[in-house]
Amino acid sequence: MEGRGRRVGLGVGLGVGALVLVLGGGVAATVGLTTVATRALNEQADVVVSDYLDALRDRRWSSAYDMLCQDTKDTTTEAEFTSEATAREPITAYDVGDLNPMKLSAPVDVTYADGSTDRLEAYLAQNPRTGGFEVCSIEE
């Protein structure tokens, strides 16, 4: 009887140990996947916002307009967009922060041609065909 109790205890202990290892591995995998996904989204947002701001900085109004999300294009003509863009102080430098996935926005620290600085917010949307981000607006 004594040997049998030990075997049962050992079996239960090994089973619990295996379960802890499996669950721990699952948690580690989930954390790893979340980290990789977050980095990928931040990188994509950074590239999209940077491309858009580069187009504005270089005064390529048509290219900047083409990068806008469809909702913005539906409410703003290219002529209206160009008129508004040329009226703003030109941005000479910027730094895009991390994406807020709940708001689909990223902070952008900008430096204007006159030397002043500001923190703006770039609002994004996902293109339904490609799944990639597009800029909808950049606001104070």
Give the structural domain span for 6: 2-139
> Percentage of the chain surpassing pLDDT 70?
73
CATH of the domain at 119: 3.10.450.50
Per the structure block, which two tokens stand in for 110? 């900008």
Q: Which residues of 36-53 are buried (b: 16+ CB within 10 A; e: fewer)?
A: eeeeebbebbbebbeebb
63-106 per-position pLDDT tens digit:
999 999 999 999 999 999 999 999 999 999 999 999 999 999 99
Q: Residue 41: what pLDDT?
A: 84
Number of domains in the chain: 1
pLDDT at 134: 97
Q: What is the pLDDT of residues 21-60, one digit of tens each?
A: 666 555 554 445 455 556 888 899 999 999 999 999 999 9
| Higher per-residue pLDDT: 41 or 127 | 127
| HEC string for the chain | CHHHHHHHHHHHHHHHHHHHHHHHHHHHHHHHHHHHHHHHHHHHHHHHHHHHHHHHHCCCHHHHHHCECHHHHHHCCHHHHHHHHHHCCCEEEEEECCCECCCCEEEEEEEECCCCEEEEEEEEEECCCCCCEEEEEEEC
pLDDT at 1: 54
Tell me what pLDDT residue 27 has. 53
